[in-house]
Amino acid sequence: MKRMYLTGLIFAIAVVFTGSNAYSYPANIGDTIRLQDGTGSTNGGIFRVYINNVYKFDTFCVETDEFINLGANYVVADISDKAVLGGANTNANDPLDFRTAWLFYNWSIGNLESLAGKSANYFRTTAGADDLQWAIWYIEQEYVGNNYLVDLANGKWNSIGPVRVVNIMDGSVYKQDVLITPEPGILILLGIAMSAIGMASWRLRKL
């Protein structure tokens, strides 16, 4: 009975964690989106994202061959599991890599420093932001930027979890793709769910 109960708990939590319809994101298709420069010395993130002129979240970019003008207004064309036009490696619907999703999710909830053995807020510094942006570009086959974060992310997830790609347009032209996670409250619930999965899995091994 205990095994059946815990197995059911893990399954229920996994459904919540992987079901894209369960997430509430801080952006919607059709919103006006504006990116401002944040920490980091690459041509990518950290970007500060404003939705309908209200600051919402920080992010990193996925592509190296699509560009935006900082401070300009664009439109959220799509929120999905892929970069619509691909990037340096392809121009046809480039799926988000599981490793990128894992890194960005843990960065979003403030866990990446402890997982990577770095000091608090390291990935909010210029050096840390550059490390993460290079790793994302390398994983997404955009640029030669292999580093310790790529190895750290290997084998951690077998899906992109709650992370999605925001495809940005200027009229009919795709301008860039950036990463997004659910609203902060949803992220807290996801963190609890992931902890519960870990505890339930440990309990199953003990039974």
Find, among 106, 78, 114, the residue nearest to 162 by Cα.
106
pTM for the whole thing?
A: 0.80
User: What is the per-residue burial (b if ≥16 Cβ within 10 Å, else e) of 76-97?
Assistant: bbbbbebbbbbbeeeeeebebb
Domain layout of the chain by residue ranges: 1-22+184-207, 25-181
Edge-to-edge strand order for the sheet containing 54-59?
Answer: 54-59, 47-51, 32-37, 74-80, 164-170, 173-180
pLDDT per residue, tens digit, the chain (207 aa), is: 444 444 444 434 444 444 445 799 999 999 999 999 999 999 899 999 999 999 999 999 999 988 899 999 999 999 999 998 766 766 677 999 999 999 999 999 999 999 999 999 999 999 999 999 999 999 999 888 899 999 999 999 999 999 999 999 999 888 889 999 998 765 555 555 555 544 544 454 555
- First-to-last C-alpha distance (Å) of the chain: 11
Q: Where are the alpha helices (DSSP H) in 47-147?
A: 98-108, 112-116, 126-139
For residue 162, give every residue at least 6 positions away whose Cβ sits within 8 Å of its Cβ, in sequence order, or none: 17, 20, 23, 105, 181, 182, 186, 187, 190
**Per-residue tokens: 181:** 């996670």
Q: What is the dihedral of CA 184, 128, 49, 76, to 10 degrees?
A: -90
